[in-house]
Structure 1
Amino acid sequence: MIVAGVLVLALIAAGIVLLFDKNAASDRDAKRNAYVQTARQTVLNLTTIRPETAKEDVERILAGASGDFKAEFDGRQDPFVSVVKEASVTTEGQIIEAGLEREDGNKAQVLVAARANVTTPDQSQSGPRDFRMRVTVTDDGGTMTASKVEFVP
């Protein structure tokens, strides 16, 4: 009887441990997915720019930016918008693939492969451009932002 009681308690304890482990793994997977989705959206925003919506496109990029990445754009929004409108170049981004490279505390590095389909007014430089980028995503209290973006050769 005592052995059966100990066995039942051991099974209950093991079930509780497995339940907590499953919940922790689920939370970890959700956070990793949020890092990857933030990086995907950042690269999509960077590779999708239209002359008629350039100001809004840049504002969308800045809304998801922080740290070094945001500092690169500070004070340069208006000149960038002017160049896009003057050149009348349209880029339509597409994410090919993305994956978590490394996670460290409240930051993660995500590798993103993307294609930008470029359209120029005279069609002389139109066509697809492929990019690989490493996006550092920072979790600031549940708000995910891109804090660094770099091109990967």
Structure 2
Amino acid sequence: MADDDDTSAGLTPETKATTRRRASRVAGPPAHESGEVSASSVAAPPRAASPESDAASPSGESVASGVSADASTEDTGEGGSGTPVRPARSGLRRVWAIVAAVLIVVLLGTTGWLLVKQNAADDRDAQRNAFEQTARQTVLNLTTIKPDTAKEDVDRILAGASGEFKAEFDGREDPFVGVVQEAGVTTVGKIIESGLESEDGNTAKVLVAARADVSTPDGTQNGPRDFRMRVTVTDDGGTMTASKVEFVP
């Protein structure tokens, strides 16, 4: 009878089955509303973007521009102030320029000081040489006297004498010349060696070794005579004179 009712209602068996399936689905809430999670609803992990896609996408362009902006900020200095490194290099060059200038001043000062010292040393050496040459000439004059030139020989000795040495000839020049001429003795001296013994300001003592070849009229006293003398030389405003002469044994 039930079948008759269904048939009478115009329902075929296929329609009936379909109606039952729909009723069973409608009877309960959908799967996503009931809170049940199906395997297909679990989201897959995000796929890493390839360089090609990043470069092609607008977002990739913004990231690249951000990186370049950060790099430019780091290159320009601390804090991204945009200050270039060039001023620091110019400051370093200024420091080196100052150091070089100081070194030049020091070198010039040192060179000037060395020149002054060298000039002073040269002047001192020249004075010492003059002391020694004056002493040598004095001894050579004393040991070279001839009867026919005795007056000139004595005058030559007195021209280079001063002080105590010159005082020894005061009033004795003529008697000395007379004795030489009367005796007829000829002496010809030569300097063997000399050296500066001491120096004190404008005065120096020089040791001179000399040899005089003596000739007498009768020849009885002919021969060399060796002498050793200490000559005190005084520099009087650039004029060198023998102020004292003494024999040294």
Are 1:25 and 2:129 an aligned pair?
A: no
| Paired position in structure 2 for 1:106 | 202
Q: AA paired with 1:25? A: A
Structural mapping, 1:64-75, within 5 Å? 64-75=160-171
Structure 1 CA distance, aligned partners of 2:235 and 2:139? Answer: 17
Following TM superposition, by how much is the alpha carbon of 1:112 offset from its aligned partner in structure 2, in angstroms? 0.4
* 1:22-53 deviation per Cα after TM superposition (whole angstroms, max 9, x unaligned): 10000111111111111010000000000000
Q: Write the mapping of 1:2-21 to structure 2, written as runs, cut at 5 A.
A: 2-21=98-117
Q: TM-score scaled to structure 2, two decimals?
A: 0.61
RMSD: 0.7
Alpha-carbon offset, residue 3 of structure 1:
2.1
Identical aligned pairs, as a percentage? 76
TM-score (norm 1): 0.98
For 2:202 and 2:100, locate their aligned partners in 1 and report how far apart those are by CA, in whole Å.
Answer: 45
Q: For 1:2-151, what aligned pairs fall within 5 Å after superposition? A: 2-151=98-247
**Counterpart-to-counterpart distance in 2, 1:20 and 1:114:** 38
Find the aligned partners of 2:109 and 2:211 in 1 and give their Cα distance: 51
Structure with greater helix percent: 2
Aligned length: 153
- Aligned with 2:168: secondary structure? helix
SS of structure 1 residue aligned to 2:166: helix
Corresponding residue SS for 1:73: coil
What residue ranges of structure 1 are gaps of 5+ in the alignment?
none
Aligned-partner SS, 1:6: helix
How far 1:99 sits from its partner (Å)?
1.0
Name the counterpart of 2:36: none
For residue 110 of structure 1, report the CA deviation from its aligned partner.
Answer: 0.5
Deviations 1:84-114 (A, max 9, x none): 0111000001001111111111111011000
1: CA distance, partners of 2:107 / 2:167? 55
Q: By how many angstroms is 1:75 displaced?
A: 0.6
Q: Hey, what's the Cα distance between the residues in 1 that align with 2:200 and 2:121?
A: 16
Query: Greater relative contact order: 1 or 2 (C-alpha under 8 angstroms, separation 6 or more)?
Result: 1
Counterpart CA distance in 2 for 1:132 and 1:60 is 21
Asked which structure has the greater CA Rg, the reply is: 2
Q: Which is richer in strand?
A: 1
